[in-house]
Chain A
Amino acid sequence: ETGVTQTPRHLVMGMTNKKSLKCEQHLGHNAMYWYKQSAKKPLELMFVYSLEERVENNSVPSRFSPECPNSSHLFLHLHTLQPEDSALYLCASSQDRQGLNQPQHFGDGTRLSIL
């Protein structure tokens, strides 16, 4: 039990579908993150939310749309994805304190396959 829960664990969708990935953290953290891990590549940061405000968007295509309704929940809305978007999507959270480094804690990810 990592304190960060992601659903669904697996998702198969067509290129024209719309779906959402959900992440919930039970650690009382104030920052949440979406990462993408493609085969044989390092984890790539996609989005950062701190205190429910998006503070980072790492040149991610607009077919990925994040939403952070509160500090415990994070969504990634998916629309018109491409086959190259098939990957493991990981959510993480941390306690963001100015001047203090804190580790991020990860969920188990959603394995996404685009047909």
Chain B
Amino acid sequence: DQQVKQNSPSLSVQEGRISILNCDYTNSMFDYFLWYKKYPAEGPTFLISISSIKDKNEDGRFTVFLNKSAKHLSLHIVPSQPGDSAVYFCAASAREYGNKLVFGAGTILRVKS
């Protein structure tokens, strides 16, 4: 049973527009959420995170939104750039579980120029 789900396997966006990547979770104990970006032949790179006490965290072009009641988070990238083309993983953890990360299956983002 997947506790973290990324239901869109892929997303295609025009350069300069907004990319919105979605993630749903089922475990209400999760209290920390992260987004990672992965290029081919490289490991995942940490992008941005959010604690469950917040509903928004922003870092440059990247903003993560958390809706605890819906158990949903999203990553907004604006404006999207061709270099953003990668696989994006959502992950969640809970202090009660020793901060083990549970990952989604990933969404492939393609930004077209």
The interface of chain A, by Cβ under 8 A from chain B, is: 2, 4, 6, 40-43, 45, 48, 50, 55-56, 90, 92, 94, 96, 99, 101-109
Contact = CB atoms under 8 A, between A and B. Distances in A.
Q: Which of A6, A50, A102 has the most CB of B within 10 A?
A: A102
Given A103-B46, A109-B43, A48 B98 contact: yes
Contacts, number: 58
A56 B49 contact: no
A48 B100 contact: yes
Interface residues of B, number: 26
A31 B4 CA distance: 23
Contacts of B34: 103
A96 B89 contact: no
A94 B46 CA distance: 11
A41 B105 contact: yes
Contacts of A102: 99
B84 interface: no
B43 A106 contact: yes
A103 B32 CA distance: 9
A114 to B, nearest CB: 20
Contact of B51 (A40, A42, A96, A101): A101
A107 B43 CA distance: 5
